[in-house]
Amino acid sequence: MLGYLILLFTVLPAAEIYLMIKIGQRIGGMNTFAIIILTGVAGAVLAKMEGLRVLMGFQDDLNQGIMPTNRIIDGIMILIGGLLLITPGFITDIFGFILVVPLTRHPIKYLVKRYIQKKLDREKGIIEVD
């Protein structure tokens, strides 16, 4: 876990700064700045729209007596994606859009659900035979 935190708080920001400098050299500082602001605003709007859509689906599931497990995972992924999108940088924007856009979020959600299921199975002592 410590390795991931080091990666998150040192390597990622350094890579973001490097990439911003390189892109700034190519297209200019103001254009780079404008892109970062534009993706932040567009990402926040998209995350809000998707979040509201998921919230409505969550309420529908509850009204129908369905446990909204998928909606909860979607909501968490959209929240993380939204935070990444408002964080300045191109790498975080890419990952943010992947988590917010439904088309790209669903394969990630499948992997997250599989990971959680394996963790739960391990906790219960269930051993899966391949």
pLDDT tens, 45-70? 999 999 999 999 999 999 999 989 89
Radius of gyration of the chain (CA): 18
Exposed / middle / buried, residue 19 (Cβ in 10 Å: 0-12, 13-18, 19+): middle
DSSP 89: S
What is the number of residues in the chain?
A: 130
Predicted pLDDT of residue 126: 60
Q: Does a structural domain hold residue 15?
A: no
pLDDT digits (tens, 9 = 90+) for 94-120: 999 999 999 999 999 999 999 988 888
Total tally of structural domains belonging to the chain = 1
What is this structure's pTM?
0.83
Q: Does a structural domain hold residue 3?
A: no
Band of the pLDDT at 127, cuts 50, 70, 90?
Answer: low
Q: Does a structural domain hold residue 95?
A: yes
Q: Could you give the CA distance from residue 105 to residue 74 in angstroms, rounded to a whole number?
A: 8
Could you tell me the two tokens for 22? 């390189």
Q: Which domain holds residue 50?
A: 35-130
pLDDT digits (tens, 9 = 90+) for 20-36: 999 999 999 999 999 99
